[in-house]
Structure 1
């Protein structure tokens, strides 16, 4: 086993948080090593693009290794050829592989009682976590949307102001501390946005401006789409729970004009991949880090254990396993040491590593004297609503989202229900129904999965059939098919509600007792549910608000009732994983890709894993960065705050190295 110890800092993970910390430490002359479990950053993205083009399902992870589609021969039971995660060196929880990651609960159908038997478990315990991440050079910023929002000041004091969740350590003072780091993060990502729009939002909620007089976004806001304009022109008289409704441009990490990266060309596949790198990804920051001459990256090095000094409780090194081929055998092991250590492997892989690193003195794993490692997993639980605009608005152009309704992210209602932001989608019904393929298949094969090809109603007496002159379940071809599809595609609109979720210890990342990856390491077991009426109340609000918004713009709503949660009358089968019923409504929730919590900051070691410097309570030379440090999720997409906190952590580490 090789041993090396020539570094000031070792960072585990090369996503945006690890890259920012490495870059700032490297600039300061510190010797830094990044250990990345996945393959190296490619010279260009052509291979990733080819994989994306060939993928049947364009999910967030579809372009990236290890391949999620076509990896093994397809069968009736596995038509996409999904691989067995147990045969991968760097498996990750993906949208398409939810079933193969979850250990089924014992559920069988009691024919005598004619009802399912879950052996006492709540049906909600079977919900699936619906968000994915990457284990490659550059991390999950390869497939992020680019939305770069700040948290609101009240987001840091949910408990003290609204009596729910927890406060961040320091409360609003923590937000004030983050303001200059938000500006650094905005510059690093090269955010395109509107200073006037953000100042208006913060004046509404907190009576203050968010920028100093000499600071503005590096790039002007992305030009709004016709979809955005249709909403913006027609919702100005609305209020939601007392808060005014208005549409603002979404600050986002893509170039609105030529610069260090190319200008956005409107490819509309930002998730899962920007083909021209107009959208920021962490490979940009890794390149900057390497240019300092003080940073190294070792790819295909899977960290397997964090080692502790038995006398001081300090981290003394990390063990790793190497491999040469993506899913080939291990090729070696080693240990590497430094003065300081940073865990930056995301909110599922970081707790997994800490939990694997047990010792006699720390039997629950490294940094886990509180028992909070892996706890309080959160995501934005998405409610989707969709419809056809009165007139063509020409979606499927530009970034997936360029504007949203941010003005309802805070208010007195947060005492009773979760807050949300409303994202306006430019991708038509792609997310909602799998279009353009679903509607195409309807009119080619005489189906009605889109609800446009047969007489039906939306629950309000409105006929959803697109062309009443056509027979139900029409099969079309030629010019009639083209005209019908164009009439539908050009009018599709979509709303997405990013609903905040409160921390809950039952939502957690654990080590599987039975499942391992190809290197013999335990796979993470994800427990997930929606236990609070607080969140469910937000779904009811979102459903009602969507109908109001579609009425305001003159659109016909096509949001489908997903039906009741379904039991399968076979041993070992489970409840439908993403459906639930509440207050007489059936809901389907989606993951937003925002994996948050699991090693949160707090005010004392009994209730948290880290202090407000993102430093372990248990081991003073261990730091953690990324979305796992968040005590609460709030309503904003997390990446800008991840970046701001990484800049803050880098300063803290530098201070400790030089003290």
Structure 2
């Protein structure tokens, strides 16, 4: 084993949450080492990969996994890294490289609604959070100012200060939706970490319409920028450092992180405080593979809750042809939505949801469909032009309630580094299915108001995954039913913190990144307090 490194804080994972926590710790004067399993890749390399990819609609194609840091791949063939135990497949996609998965996100940066923190008390479903919206509000603002969030005031979440920026210019298709649906629905601009004007040295969005898989000009914030900010603040980032075990002392304090380099040489990094900041799949996997004689079920797992309560935001959708040309494909890919069903007394009976409109160019998808149907020549040109001009799509974004049986466990199969693969146990509950059924009324009315014809509903029972992984490290006040407290500190280990969307105890209806980031930024002061107390105690002993 190579000589050990050490730091005040050792952060496992360089995604947007881990990197911005590391940045905040480093700015406070602490020494920080970030360990990232995957390689460092530049924006230029990713843009070139996207431009040259034969699978332009496969948003993961610019992000092939490294052999020493595999992640799930489903096209052109599944790589079977995330094993499936059913009964419903959970085809999660994420990226293991410096900066993590937000390299190719839609940049939605919604806050939860105040009632989302009290669904058990209000609606007798799910669980209450161990904090309130008011507790988190300053840290939502902090996250938004770091990322450069643009948004409209009518989000449903109260604010003490305005957004850093006004929304990005409204695409023509979204304007027509807003105008024609106004009798029944309020269509609002999505809240996104995307510049509507130059901000923090980055340009304004210029409408490339490739937000997923890559913003070619960095108008959109992402984890690569967060990792750069962490290094700029003084953190040391080690790429290609696949942590395979957390080592603990006799009393349960974490002593070191062990990682493999690409040649499978083992290295040891010591620290005073450890922060597991991988996603809601890789984080529980690490805790489970770190089992020992003292902790036979894995670290932080005396409650047997590590990996449990896996949640996401499944979607069903409607595609239709409008009665006018709208020409999707200019501006952000996901610019507008309807939010009237995010909260209400109905939550005691069925899932709430957002309705999200796509602005993704229809050319690629329509071309493939027409060619597959044997359409060529002048008829292809005619029908392609019609689809590109008039095809529209709306999807729901449904809440999933926490269920201990929906979980991530360790597979009996191992990856190329000899580490057990993660295995998903997942299902779509009736609560979520009833939300889907209710949303069909909205789908039909939206199509009617747009003069829609040729309505194509997603296949009944077929739920698309939104890659909003949360719940597998749930925070709570009771150590018997949760993994960590409201600060992300593991109940079982005084110097182990979890900074991930995995700590979110419920999923609500909005993308998980800003919520996970705000929770983590709130916890930093507590991390520093724990660190300072420990340091003072050590100095007193000497």
Q: Give the TM interval when normalised to the shorter protein.
A: over 0.9
In structure 2, stretches of 5+ residues that fail to align are 534-542
Q: CA deviation at 1:95?
A: 4.0
Q: Which residue of 2 aligns with 1:177?
A: 135
Q: Which residue of 2 aligns with 1:580?
A: none
For residues 400 and 51 of structure 1, the distance between their equivalents in structure 2, rounded to whole angstroms, comes to 16
Q: Which residue of 1 aligns with 2:80?
A: 100
Q: CA deviation at 1:255?
A: 1.1
Q: Which residue of 2 aligns with 1:284?
A: 225
Q: CA separation of 1:614/1:102 partners in 2, compared to 1, >3 Å: closer, same or farther?
A: closer
Q: CA deviation at 1:235?
A: 2.4
Q: CA deviation at 1:46?
A: 2.9
CA distances 1:584-617 after superposition (whole Å, capped 9, x unpaired): xx23110001111111101111000000111000
Residues 439-450 of structure 1: pairs in structure 2 closer than 5 A: 439-441=369-371, 445-446=374-375
Q: What secondary structure does 1:248 align onto?
A: strand
Q: Which residue of 1 aligns with 2:27?
A: 27
Q: CA deviation at 1:94?
A: 3.3
1:37 touches 1:90 (CA, 8 Å); kept in 2? yes
1:428 touches 1:492 (CA, 8 Å); kept in 2? no
Q: Which residue of 1 aligns with 2:150?
A: 192
- Match status 1:485 vs 2:404: no
For residues 84 and 211 of structure 2, the distance between their equivalents in structure 1, rounded to whole angstroms, comes to 33
Choose from 448, 454, 460 the match for 1:551.
448
CA distances 1:419-458 after superposition (whole Å, capped 9, x unpaired): 000111101557xxx7133344157x23xxxxxxxxxxxx
Q: CA deviation at 1:102?
A: 6.1
Q: Which residue of 1 aligns with 2:540?
A: none
Q: What secondary structure does 2:221 align onto?
A: coil
Q: CA separation of 1:613/1:414 partners in 2, compared to 1, >3 Å: closer, same or farther?
A: same
Residues 117-132 of structure 1: pairs in structure 2 closer than 5 A: 125-132=86-93
Q: What secondary structure does 1:615 align onto?
A: coil
RMSD: 1.9
Q: CA separation of 1:546/1:499 partners in 2, compared to 1, >3 Å: closer, same or farther?
A: same
Q: CA deviation at 1:657?
A: 1.8
2:84 touches 2:424 (CA, 8 Å); kept in 1? no
Q: What secondary structure does 2:271 align onto?
A: strand
Q: Which residue of 2 aligns with 1:342?
A: 275
- Match status 1:135 vs 2:96: yes
1:150 touches 1:636 (CA, 8 Å); kept in 2? yes
Choose from 377, 380, 393 the match for 1:494.
393
2:487 touches 2:519 (CA, 8 Å); kept in 1? no
Q: CA deviation at 1:485?
A: 1.9
Q: What secondary structure does 1:381 align onto?
A: coil
Q: Which residue of 2 aligns with 1:373?
A: 306
Q: Which residue of 2 aligns with 1:8?
A: 8
Q: CA separation of 1:152/1:249 partners in 2, compared to 1, >3 Å: closer, same or farther?
A: same
- Match status 1:298 vs 2:277: no
Q: Which residue of 1 aligns with 2:435?
A: 538
1:192 touches 1:252 (CA, 8 Å); kept in 2? yes
1:98 touches 1:130 (CA, 8 Å); kept in 2? no
In structure 1, stretches of 5+ residues that fail to align are 68-87, 106-124, 203-209, 239-244, 324-328, 447-475, 563-585
Q: CA deviation at 1:621?
A: 0.4
Q: Which residue of 2 aligns with 1:216?
A: 162
Q: Which residue of 2 aligns with 1:392?
A: 325
- Match status 1:509 vs 2:450: no
For residues 269 and 240 of structure 2, the distance between their equivalents in structure 1, rounded to whole angstroms, comes to 15
1:227 touches 1:393 (CA, 8 Å); kept in 2? yes
For residues 64 and 369 of structure 1, the distance between their equivalents in structure 2, rounded to whole angstroms, comes to 36
Q: CA separation of 1:542/1:53 partners in 2, compared to 1, >3 Å: closer, same or farther?
A: farther
For residues 102 and 425 of structure 1, the distance between their equivalents in structure 2, rounded to whole angstroms, comes to 28
Residues 251-266 of structure 1: pairs in structure 2 closer than 5 A: 251-259=191-199, 260-266=201-207
2:361 touches 2:388 (CA, 8 Å); kept in 1? yes
Q: CA deviation at 1:8?
A: 0.5
CA distances 1:348-370 after superposition (whole Å, capped 9, x unpaired): 00100000011111100000000
Q: CA deviation at 1:41?
A: 3.8
Q: CA deviation at 1:506?
A: 1.6
Q: Which residue of 2 aligns with 1:322?
A: 261
Q: CA deviation at 1:219?
A: 1.7
Once the two structures are overlaid, the 10-residue window that deviates more, 127-136 or 12-21, is: 127-136
Q: What secondary structure does 2:502 align onto?
A: helix
2:73 touches 2:79 (CA, 8 Å); kept in 1? no
Q: CA separation of 1:266/1:62 partners in 2, compared to 1, >3 Å: closer, same or farther?
A: same
2:367 touches 2:384 (CA, 8 Å); kept in 1? no
Q: Which residue of 2 aligns with 1:572?
A: none
Q: CA deviation at 1:65?
A: 3.0
Q: What secondary structure does 1:558 align onto?
A: strand
For residues 308 and 399 of structure 2, the distance between their equivalents in structure 1, rounded to whole angstroms, comes to 17
1:601 touches 1:611 (CA, 8 Å); kept in 2? yes
Q: CA deviation at 1:477?
A: 1.7
Q: What secondary structure does 2:280 align onto?
A: helix
2:288 touches 2:299 (CA, 8 Å); kept in 1? yes
Q: CA separation of 1:98/1:507 partners in 2, compared to 1, >3 Å: closer, same or farther?
A: farther
1:439 touches 1:485 (CA, 8 Å); kept in 2? no
For residues 73 and 395 of structure 2, the distance between their equivalents in structure 1, rounded to whole angstroms, comes to 20
Calculate the TM-score normalised by the size of structure 1.
Answer: 0.78
